[in-house]
Amino acid sequence: MAYLKIHCDVCGGTWEIYHRDNWKDDKARQCPHCMSAIDRQTWHRFVLPALGAVKDANEELYKIHAGYHAPLFSFDVVADHLYQNRNASDYSQVMNELQYIEDIILDEKSN
C-alpha cells in the first residue's frame, strides 16, 4: 500500500497519507499538529502526481516480476533537503565523518 509521509517544517511534526485516504480533502494536506497546510495548487499539481507516479512505477515493476519472473525491484523517493535545526556546515561535517568511517572499513577489508 502506497503512502505519503509529510514533514512539517513549522512544528517539526510528521504525518502519513495512505492510498485509501481522501487526498482531495483539505485535512490530507494539513499538519495535524499545528494546522499549517500545503498550498492547494501545489498539492494537486505536484504532490499527488508524484505519489501516483511512484505507486504506478512500483506496481509495474511487480507486474514485470510476476509475469516474466524478472528480478523484483521497488523504490521510494527520499527528499534531498536539510531538516529543521540543520545547516550546510552540519551536513558537511556528517558527510566527512561518514567518508572517514568508510575509509576505515575499506582499509580493514583490504588487510
Contacts of 36 (CB under 8 A, 6+ apart): 8, 10, 11, 30
| Residue 108 confidence (pLDDT) above 70 | yes
What pTM does this model have? Answer: 0.64
Query: For the chain, which residues make up each domain, given as ranges?
Result: 3-80, 85-111
How far, in Å, CA of 53 to CA of 26, rounded?
21
Q: By the 8 A CB rule, do 37 and 20 touch?
A: no
| Residue 86 confidence (pLDDT) above 80 | no
**pLDDT for res 71:** 95
**pLDDT for res 87:** 55
Give me the mean pLDDT over the 88-92 stretch. 60
Q: By the 8 A CB rule, do 31 and 13 touch?
A: yes
Give me the mean pLDDT over the 2-11 stretch. 88
User: How far, in Å, are 6, 33, 35 from residue 14 at the CA level?
Assistant: 5, 8, 12
